């Protein structure tokens, strides 16, 4: 049996979409009405981002997409978060997903901000996509800067993991607020 390299690549992308659907399903999202996971790299490329966008919107409250369309142009993002581009002038993402969920805001503005930032992994090791995960200026949430991405399942896994970490830190913080006395004993910074 022979196979085309383009078909081969398409199959890998489709399987990545299936992993993405499965991850969303495990988080309790109803994925029955999502786009089909089978794609071909010569057309239907949007399917991958459609699945990502549909799933992520159900998992988080304030998710925004900035691309090169007329609406939600990437310039809006650049104007809104100028500080990000002042730090690093080389940032030229193709499209951006921002996660300004209350969950992330709470943990980033709380006392566990430093610990949470340590947990955020760098996504440099991913082979099939070039994405960057940054904290928005003013601790307003997280942002995925995508330069080029074909296999988005690792991105989904990361964001789901970060959501769980955020919930963990918030619970920890709540417990500390209740037991304020022990905080003083252990000489820890309180809220």
Partner 1 sequence: MKFDGGLFIKQLKQYEVSKEDNKKYRTNKGFSKALEHVWFHTPTSNVNFDEFTVEDVEDVLGEMELMPYIFDEGGETFVCDPGNRFVIFDQLFDVFYKLNNYPNKQYYQDEDDLFI
Q: Which stretch binds partner 1 (CB under 8 A): 8-16, 76-84, 97-105, 175-183?
A: 8-16
Task: State whether residue 116 is helix, strand or coil.
Answer: helix
Q: Could you give the CA distance from residue 106 to residue 108 in angstroms, rounded to a whole number?
A: 6
**Span interacting with partner 1, options 15-23, 84-92, 142-150, 174-182, rule CB under 8 A:** 15-23
Residue in 127, 108, 149 with CA at minimum distance from that of residue 20:
149
Query: How far apart are CB 180 and partner 1 at their closest, in Å?
Result: 40
Q: Which two tokens stand for residue 81?
A: 């978060």
Sites for partner 1 among residues 44-103 (CB under 8 A):
none
In this complex, which beta carbon is closest to partner 1, that of residue 25 or of residue 72? 25
* Contact in structure between 20 and 53 (CB atoms under 8 Å): no
Question: CB of residue 69 vs partner 1: minimum separation in angstroms?
Answer: 25
Site membership for partner 1, residue 16 (CB under 8 A): yes
1 near partner 1, rule: CB under 8 A: yes
d(CA 143, CA 134) in angstroms, rounded, equals 5
Q: Does 28 bind partner 1 (CB under 8 A)?
A: no
Nearer to partner 1, 25 or 173 (CB): 25
Q: What residue has token string 């949007």?
A: 46
Tokens of 88: 């690093």
């Amino acid at each position: 049996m022979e196979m085309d390299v383009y078909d081969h690549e398409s199959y890998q992308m489709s399987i990545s979409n299936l992993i993405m659907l499965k991850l969303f399903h495990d988080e309790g999202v109803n994925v029955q009405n999502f786009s089909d996971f089978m794609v071909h790299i010569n057309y239907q490329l949007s399917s991958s981002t459609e699945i990502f966008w549909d799933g992520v919107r159900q998992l988080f409250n304030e998710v925004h997409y900035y691309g090169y369309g007329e609406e939600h142009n990437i310039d809006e993002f650049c104007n809104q978060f100028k500080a990000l581009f002042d730090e690093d002038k080389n940032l030229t993402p193709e499209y951006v997903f921002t996660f300004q969920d209350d969950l992330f805001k709470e943990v980033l503005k709380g006392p566990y901000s430093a610990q949470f930032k340590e947990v955020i992994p760098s996504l440099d090791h991913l082979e099939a996509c070039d994405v960057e995960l940054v904290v928005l200026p003013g601790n307003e949430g997280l942002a995925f800067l995508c330069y080029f991405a074909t296999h988005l399942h690792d991105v989904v896994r990361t964001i789901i993991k970060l959501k769980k970490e955020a919930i963990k830190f918030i619970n920890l913080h709540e417990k500390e607020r209740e037991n304020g006395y022990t905080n003083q004993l252990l000489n820890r910074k309180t809220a």
